[in-house]
């Protein structure tokens, strides 16, 4: 793809000419693109927020690029699309830092607590009276940067000073989902960087990945052990506290072991055979909620009641057998459960039955 077309397409993306789901942003929107296309980049801090009125104010504190037209940015958050306003409001904490980007048309991005917010601009109003209208969380832009706001501000200052180059986009990083946003700690809470939701875990390509060691179970049989439960839930239940209505062995992860069409849950346990050491992405397309754990680590979280949607996560694995648990619940309406993997020399595909095994009960 030539540079002129790439730049034109990227500019169209910034202007909102494509929907938020557009995948072009994965490879055409590195941080350098933000810097080049933004007339102004500034630091700010959340001064006031009102969830009932759906508004938030950000006080501008320092310029990184250009001269900011605003002292105070007034934001109408409540007009955002779908689930985005409700998810964003808990993160609008007074005192939280922000980084503001905007172009000549005043279309804007604000980086806050590891994610980007898209705004439609102020419609040419005077800066002291203008309101920015929130549209959506830029779910792909965390592939450009997903550190803290303070780290981003420092990086931008260093880039402007010519001290460092901005990092490229990582097209393999998982996309932000509603469920990952729900489990992202709000600003001011303690954060364990290794336990953040998958889309917010940063990978440094210059450093080797931490690899989980394979296990050496003996006496394995084909398929995964499953437990089937009946009940009504709107989120994944505590399976340890439930008594299964049926148990057995499933050849692969699907819904064939259900006994009815609504209000049930499934738990699959066993081992997955990793053919080659490296970084593996696991994907779950589910309706309703699901979660995948490798050993004690939650890799994919797709919880809650929702239409079919895919969530992803990444983990470094040594070649060999690794214990795996996949849990799922279905409340009402449609039902979907699909399990995919991809890794070194392994294109994205459904996890085959041949890769799954379990340790039979004595």
pLDDT score of 169 more than 80: no
What is d(CA 351, CA 342) in angstroms, rounded to the nearest whole number? 9
Read off the pLDDT band of 172 (50, 70, 90): low
pLDDT score of 7 more than 70: no
User: pLDDT tens digits, residue range 301-357?
Assistant: 888 899 998 888 888 999 999 999 999 999 999 999 999 999 888 889 999 999 999
Q: Are 68 and 46 in contact (CB under 8 A)?
A: no
Q: Which of 179, 198, 231 is the last residue of a domain?
A: 179
Confirm whether 191 is domain-assigned: no
Domain extent, residue 236, equals: 221-358
Confirm whether 214 is domain-assigned: no
pLDDT of residue 204: 62
Looking at the structure, tell me whether residues 148 and 227 fall in a common domain.
no
pLDDT of residue 2: 30
Confirm whether 194 is domain-assigned: no
Looking at the structure, tell me whether residues 292 and 239 fall in a common domain.
yes
pLDDT of residue 221: 96
Looking at the structure, tell me whether residues 167 and 229 fall in a common domain.
no
CATH label of the domain that carries residue 308: 2.60.120.1560
Looking at the structure, tell me whether residues 259 and 145 fall in a common domain.
no
The rounded percent of the chain whose pLDDT value lies above 90 is 56
Looking at the structure, tell me whether residues 131 and 252 fall in a common domain.
no
pLDDT of residue 163: 87
User: Across residues 283-293, what is the average pLDDT?
Assistant: 93
pLDDT of residue 295: 93
Count of structural domains, the chain: 2
Looking at the structure, tell me whether residues 25 and 144 fall in a common domain.
yes
User: pLDDT tens digits, residue range 289-303?
Assistant: 999 999 988 888 888
Q: Is the pTM of this model over 0.85?
A: no
CATH label of the domain that carries residue 150: 2.40.50
Reduce the DSSP state of residue 152 to 3 states and report it. helix
pLDDT score of 11 more than 60: no
Looking at the structure, tell me whether residues 174 and 227 fall in a common domain.
no
Confirm whether 216 is domain-assigned: no
Confirm whether 90 is domain-assigned: yes
Q: Which of 126, 158, 179 is the last residue of a domain?
A: 179
Extended strands (E) in the chain? 40-50, 55-65, 72-76, 97-102, 108-112, 115-119, 131-137, 221-222, 224-230, 246-250, 264-274, 278-287, 290-294, 297-302, 309-317, 320-330, 336-343, 346-350, 356-358
User: Across residues 221-233, what is the average pLDDT?
Assistant: 97
Looking at the structure, tell me whether residues 98 and 17 fall in a common domain.
yes
Read off the pLDDT band of 18 (50, 70, 90): very low
């Amino acid at each position: 793809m030539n540079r002129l077309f790439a730049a034109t397409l990227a500019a169209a993306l910034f202007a909102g000419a494509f929907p938020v789901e557009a995948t072009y942003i994965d490879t055409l929107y590195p941080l350098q693109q933000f810097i080049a296309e933004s007339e102004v980049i500034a630091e700010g801090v959340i001064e006031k927020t009102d969830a009932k009125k759906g508004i938030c104010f950000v006080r501008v504190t320092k310029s990184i690029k250009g001269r900011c037209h605003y002292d105070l940015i007034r934001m109408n958050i409540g007009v955002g699309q779908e689930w985005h306003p409700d998810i964003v409001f808990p993160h609008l904490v007074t005192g939280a830092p922000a980084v503001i980007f905007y172009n000549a048309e005043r279309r804007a991005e604000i980086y806050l607590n590891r994610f980007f917010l898209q705004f439609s601009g102020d419609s040419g109003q005077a800066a002291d009276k203008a309101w920015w209208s929130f549209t959506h969380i830029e779910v792909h832009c965390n592939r450009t940067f997903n550190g803290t706001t303070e780290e981003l501000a420092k990086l931008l200052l260093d880039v402007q000073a010519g001290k460092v180059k901005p990092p490229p986009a990582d097209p393999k990083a998982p996309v932000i989902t509603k469920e990952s946003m729900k489990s992202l700690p709000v600003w001011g809470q303690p954060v364990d960087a290794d336990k953040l939701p998958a889309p917010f875990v940063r990978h440094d390509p210059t450093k080797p990945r931490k690899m989980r060691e394979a296990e050496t179970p003996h006496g394995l049989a084909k398929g995964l052990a499953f437990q089937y439960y009946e009940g009504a839930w709107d989120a994944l239940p505590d399976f340890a506290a439930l008594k299964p209505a049926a148990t057995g062995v499933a050849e692969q992860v699907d819904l064939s072991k259900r006994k009815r069409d609504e209000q049930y849950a499934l738990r699959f346990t066993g081992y997955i055979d990793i053919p080659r050491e490296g970084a593996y992405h696991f994907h779950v397309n589910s309706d309703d909620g699901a979660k995948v754990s490798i050993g004690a680590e939650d890799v994919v979280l797709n919880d809650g009641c929702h239409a079919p949607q895919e969530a992803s996560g990444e983990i470094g694995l040594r070649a060999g057998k690794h214990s795996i648990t996949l849990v799922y619940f279905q409340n009402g309406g449609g039902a979907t459960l699909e399990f995919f993997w991809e890794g070194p020399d392994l294109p994205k595909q459904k996890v085959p039955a041949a890769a799954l095994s379990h340790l039979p009960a004595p």
